[in-house]
């Protein structure tokens, strides 16, 4: 398909916070392989990408970013400045489609689509309702997301779970396509399933990811057998987790590592019995696939998007701490379960790839272009 | 041309475990689910099929009914279904076949459990239907030389096995064989699966299957006895009534007769001469495409749960607490292990169809947790 897509993003490797930047890098790589030309718009924050397969249009922000180091000083200011500059800097020549990722550049994307009469496709990687765990979602961000999904010819969501949210919360129920992410295997593999006495949580410690439910479940399970719960990641729930662990009297069994390097994370994965993600609402959950691909047994909440495509995992309702406690005990008590789940889970991740993700994205492009 | 046909039905519903947590005080069963399924199957299959068989004079068959199904029918006061079976057996055209009370894998361990479970089923059949089976079906047609030896010790005239290559080599399934002095009827899996699996499959080149066509295939086969063994739930449950499965059953006896093929009861078939003997060195069964034990003991969680269950047998029996013994025996149902299969593709789909938890891992966790709870009750 000889198409030129103007992609509107925010972060890009190596300067990334979440899965969005990785998604953009891997998706564009595969799209370019498929003959699509990509103009990629982003602000310069921290540093510049080194990739060369796309045409980067890096916008220099003035008031909200440090002029020398490009460190982010003011997130909200940066968002506003980015949108303003995007509208001015946009080069529409030859562009047949605008593809916007999430809400940050969405106001500019909506305006540009109108001004230049170029169809808009948006990908919803997460909604404000996910990020706030349904507790006090910020109205103005939700409004941007609502406008964005209605301005788009076609909407891509990362899971059926997100599709449901987009329909229920933003009243956009047609032209919404589920495209599962790919993932990059970590390159480490569990080689034995001897009991390590350790359950691990990977990712940001925010209420969205439900870390407190893991602590509450651990209190029940620790009455049966000793093990430790390790939180690898940082976030605004850290203090709360520390306090709850103390209140429940299990602080000796709960370890908070803060943010860990990739190398450390790999070490923890190999040295754990299971990965638990008790997310209240996780649109996809790339870390689930990463952990599984290393052969680590995985326990996830039913409100974790990627779970809809997985059978070789244990699933529970995030609030059901007795259930989670029993699943963790099963992992700690039964070696054959660790082994079978680990091996079968690893096999199951093979059906996810960025190539497949790009193919499905291209299908959505085709539909958006033929919508008229 | 085939001279005789032996038609047999397996009639079984398990007691399913509730979501059982390791810290629960006692083992609990999922009685609402059991009741829901028993009601549905009674309505869609048992009552209808019993009536149809009774009224269709040309039909003869054997029915292996598990004790745990009869027990559930009594507990839930489905006396209409039990009465239906009793009427069938009173005609003499239908006979009960012995099996383990719990549809278990007790034949795979060298303890007295197999003998006790077969005795329990035999007693219940005698009490409810005033008749005693002469032939024995091991769970899901699991068979080997070691099983044959136990069947002989149990005093049965004949038993059943899957007519697969692992057992027969190049020999025809449509004959009577002997293994270690016991007569063996080998199931014709192709003609059985035509009804059991393919009957309502619209993508099958032979769809729709009429009784006339199927009877012609039977008549065209060679041998002295062609054995067809399928789940009784084939009628109305696995294949909906709208598929025409009951009309098929109503006509098939007539069509076989028209082709000069005679239907036999199991005890009549047991009077036929054996044509040859078989070695039966490895285990075979009618399950999955593998036709071996892998449906129940194919992966490490299944093997582990199996060992855990039978490792308690001696202690459970020494304790002599009837309630604990009864609970432990329900855990020996092969169904629990069947749900723990992690097979993929076509076999995997069948396992998942029956799995009430839709996850092999939850099935395993419930099962081994239940074993742990019993072990705790025994003071371990």
Nearest to A337 among B21, B23, B301 (CB): B301
DSSP string computed for A169-214: HH---SSEEE--------S----------EEEEES--SGGG-HHHH
Give every CB contact of residue A203 below 8 A, 6+ residues apart in sequence. A209, A232, A233, A277, A287
- Does A315 contact B23 at a Cβ distance shorter than 8 Å? no
Low-confidence residues in chain B, pLDDT < 50 = none
**Rounded CA separation A269/A298 (Å):** 11
* pLDDT per position as a tens digit, A268-290: 999 999 999 999 999 999 999 99
Residue among A220, A223, A314 whose CB faces B361 most closely: A314
Q: Which helix (H) or strand (E) holds A155?
A: strand A154-157
pLDDT digits (tens, 9 = 90+) for A111-158: 999 999 999 999 999 999 998 988 889 999 999 999 999 999 999 999
Mean model confidence pLDDT for chain A: 95
Read off the pLDDT of residues B198-230 as tens digits, 9 standing for 90 and up.
Answer: 999 999 999 999 999 999 999 999 999 999 999
Give the pLDDT confidence score for residue B346 in this predicted structure: 86
Query: From the CA of A23, how many Å to the nearest CA of chain B?
Result: 30
Residue B233 confidence (pLDDT): 98
Task: Verify cis geometry, omega within 30 degrees of 0, for the bond prior to A14.
Answer: yes
CB contact under 8 A, A333 and B22: yes
Kindly list the catalytic residues of B.
Answer: 140
- pLDDT value of residue A1: 55
pLDDT tens digits for range A49-102: 999 999 999 999 988 898 888 898 899 999 999 999 999 999 999 999 999 999
ipTM exceeds 0.85: yes
Look at residue A68 in the predicted model and tell me its pLDDT: 87
Cα of B25 to nearest chain A Cα, Å: 13
Secondary structure (DSSP) of A242-311? HHHHHHTT-GGGEEEEES--HHHHHHHHHT-SEEEE--SSBS--HHHHHHHHTT--EEEETTBGGGGG-S
- Closest CB to B300: pick one of A224, A327, A339: A339
Question: What's the token pair of residue B158?
Answer: 């004949």
Structural domains in chain A plus CATH codes: 3-182+353-370 (3.40.50.2000), 198-351 (3.40.50.2000)
Distance (Å, rounded) from C-alpha A262 to C-alpha A16? 13
| Closest residue by Cα to residue B153 from B181, B131, B176 | B181
CB-based contact B23 A224, cutoff 8 Å:
yes
**DSSP letter, residue B104:** B
- Residue pair B47/B252 in contact (Cβ under 8 Å)? The answer is no
Output the pLDDT for position A16.
79
In tens, the pLDDT along A170-215 reads 999 999 999 999 999 999 999 999 999 999 999 999 999 999 999 9
Is residue B69 within 8 Å of B12, Cβ to Cβ?
yes
Closest CA to B18 of B256, B378, B375, B362: B362
C-beta of residue A159 within 8 angstroms of C-beta of residue A308: yes
Cβ of B304 and A224 within 8 Å? no
Question: Residue A133 has what pLDDT?
Answer: 86
* Chosen from B19, B348, B361, B370 to mutate, greatest number of chain A CBs within 10 A: B361
Query: What does the pLDDT look like over A214-248, one tens digit per residue?
Result: 999 999 999 999 999 999 999 999 999 999 999 99
Q: Is the pLDDT of residue A2 over 80?
A: no
Query: Greatest CA span in chain A, whole angstroms?
Result: 66
């Amino acid at each position: 398909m000889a198409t030129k897509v103007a992609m509107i993003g925010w972060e890009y490797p190596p300067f990334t916070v979440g899965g969005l930047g990785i998604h953009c890098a891997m998706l564009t790589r595969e799209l370019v392989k498929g003959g699509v030309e990509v103009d990629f718009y982003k602000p310069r924050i921290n540093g510049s990408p080194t990739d060369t397969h796309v045409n980067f249009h890096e916008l220099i922000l003035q008031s909200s970013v440090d002029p020398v180091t490009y460190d982010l000083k003011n997130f909200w200011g940066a968002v506003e400045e980015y949108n303003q500059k995007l509208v001015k800097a946009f080069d529409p020549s030859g562009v047949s489609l605008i593809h916007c990722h999430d809400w940050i550049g969405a106001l500019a994307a909506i305006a540009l689509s109108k001004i230049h009469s170029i169809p808009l496709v948006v990908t919803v990687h997460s909604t404000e309702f996910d990020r706030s765990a349904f507790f006090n979602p910020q109205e103005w961000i939700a409004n941007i997301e609502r406008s964005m999904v209605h301005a788009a010819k076609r909407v891509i969501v990362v899971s059926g779970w997100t599709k449901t949210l987009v329909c229920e919360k933003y009243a956009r129920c047609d032209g919404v396509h589920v495209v599962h992410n790919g993932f990059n295997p970590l390159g480490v593999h569990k080689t034995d399933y001897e009991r390590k006495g350790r359950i691990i949580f990977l990712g940001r410690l925010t209420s969205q990811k439900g870390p407190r439910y893991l602590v509450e479940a651990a209190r029940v399970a620790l009455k049966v057998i000793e093990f430790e719960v390790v939180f690898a990641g940082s976030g605004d729930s850290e203090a709360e987790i520390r306090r709850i662990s103390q209140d429940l009297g299990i602080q000796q069994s709960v370890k908070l590592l803060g943010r860990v390097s990739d190398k450390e994370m790999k070490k923890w994965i190999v040295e754990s019995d299971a990965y638990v993600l008790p997310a209240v609402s996780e649109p996809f959950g790339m870390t689930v696939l990463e952990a599984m691909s290393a052969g680590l047994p995985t326990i996830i909440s039913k409100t974790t998007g990627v779970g809809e495509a997985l059978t070789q995992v244990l699933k529970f309702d995030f609030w059901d701490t007795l259930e989670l406690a029993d699943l963790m005990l099963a992992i700690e008590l039964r070696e054959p379960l660790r082994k079978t789940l680990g091996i079968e889970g690893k096999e199951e991740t093979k059906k996810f790839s960025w190539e497949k993700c790009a193919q499905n994205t291209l299908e959505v492009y085709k539909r958006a272009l033929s919508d008229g | 041309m085939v001279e005789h046909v032996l038609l047999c039905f397996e009639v079984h519903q398990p007691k399913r475990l509730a979501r059982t947590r390791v810290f629960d005080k006692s083992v609990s069963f999922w009685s609402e689910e059991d009741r829901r399924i028993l009601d549905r199957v009674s309505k869609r299959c048992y009552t209808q099929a019993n009536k149809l068989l009774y009224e269709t004079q040309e039909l003869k068959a054997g029915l292996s009914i598990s004790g745990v199904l009869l027990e559930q029918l009594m507990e839930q006061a489905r006396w209409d279904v039990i009465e239906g079976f009793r009427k069938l057996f009173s005609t003499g055209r239908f006979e009960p076949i012995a099996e383990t009370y719990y549809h278990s894998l007790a034949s795979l361990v060298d303890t007295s459990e197999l003998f006790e479970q077969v005795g329990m089923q035999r007693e219940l059949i005698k009490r409810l239907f005033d008749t005693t089976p002469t032939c024995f079906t091991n769970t899901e047609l699991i068979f080997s030389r070691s099983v044959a030896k136990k069947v002989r010790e149990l005093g049965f005239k004949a038993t059943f096995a899957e007519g697969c290559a692992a057992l027969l080599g190049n020999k025809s399934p449509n004959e009577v064989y002997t293994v270690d002095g016991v007569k063996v009827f080998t199931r014709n899996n192709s003609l059985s699966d035509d009804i059991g699996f393919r009957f309502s499959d619209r993508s099958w080149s032979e769809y729709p299957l009429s009784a006339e066509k199927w009877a012609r295939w039977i008549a065209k086969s060679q041998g002295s006895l062609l054995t067809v063994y399928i789940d009784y739930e084939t009628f109305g449950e696995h294949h909906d009534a709208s598929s025409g499965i009951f009309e098929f059953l109503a006509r098939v006896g007539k069509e076989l007769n028209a082709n000069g093929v005679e239907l036999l009861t199991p005890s009549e078939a047991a009077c036929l001469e054996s044509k040859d003997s078989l070695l039966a060195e490895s285990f075979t069964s009618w399950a999955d495409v593998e036709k071996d034990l892998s449906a129940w003991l194919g992966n490490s969680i299944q093997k582990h749960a199996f060992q855990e269950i039978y490792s308690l047998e001696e202690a459970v029996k020494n304790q002599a607490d009837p309630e604990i013994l009864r609970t432990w025996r329900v855990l020996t149902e092969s169904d629990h292990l069947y749900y723990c299969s992690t097979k993929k593709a076509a076999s995997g789909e069948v396992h998942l169809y029956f799995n009430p938890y839709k996850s092999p891992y939850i099935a395993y966790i419930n099962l081994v947790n239940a074993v742990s709870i019993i072990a705790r009750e025994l003071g371990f």
